Structure 1
């Protein structure tokens, strides 16, 4: 992993941690606790769906590229390669949907709010 990439990840995590400080500095009570939980749930939902969508997009791109290369090398296998590619794309898309489900659970099925 590149050093600048690691620095950007650490800086992003630092900004997320500092962004929660104003919520912690408010008056004590049930409302501020609920607002903090809701805010952190929104951050968690974003962190759940972002890598899921990015990973799914990268995986689908690699799958399509591999299928296109295979079809270019052996045109007679285009039908089998297309079928296998679509099955793989469906599985990859299911993983992205799992990230969406986790994000929706974090946002809407929070028992404390």
Structure 2
């Protein structure tokens, strides 16, 4: 959603014909930041999905190992979310 909003704001002046200069370094910087933030969200979602799938599979194989698997899953998901949040902030700072 952030990606769509930043791309829309980036190309809004060209769409409304307010500025005839076309693509500027600023608009391309905003586009790059939006793409970077979007890729960070996609990567984080895929990573957490793989962690969840692996945890469910491990628990299905050994139901008695729920607590250690769940703890490892939560720690790994938190680390991935931290890196994803950092990448989103960097992407949005580049877009501003």
**Alignment TM-score > 0.5, same fold:** yes
Counterpart of 2:67 in structure 1 is 79
Give the secondary structure class of the aligned counterpart of 1:95: helix
Q: Unaligned regions of 5+ residues in structure 1, if any?
A: 1-18, 27-31, 109-113
Normalising by structure 1, we get a TM-score of 0.62
RMSD: 2.1
CA distance in 2 between partners of 1:59 and 1:86 (Å) = 12
Greater RCO (Cα-Cα under 8 Å, separation 6 or more): 2
Q: Indicate the structure (1 or 2) with the bigger Cα radius of gyration.
A: 1
Q: Unaligned regions of 5+ residues in structure 2, if any?
A: 1-10, 15-19
Tell me whether 1:64 sits opposite 2:64 in the alignment: no
* Residues 9-57 of structure 1: CA deviation (Å, up to 9, x unaligned): xxxxxxxxxx8xx7xx73xxxxx8xx82331121011121111111111
1:60: how far off? 0.6
Normalising by structure 2, we get a TM-score of 0.72
Counterpart of 1:41 in structure 2 is 29
Give the secondary structure class of the aligned counterpart of 1:68: helix
Tell me whether 1:50 sits opposite 2:22 in the alignment: no
Runs of 4+ in 1 over 4 A off after TM superposition: none
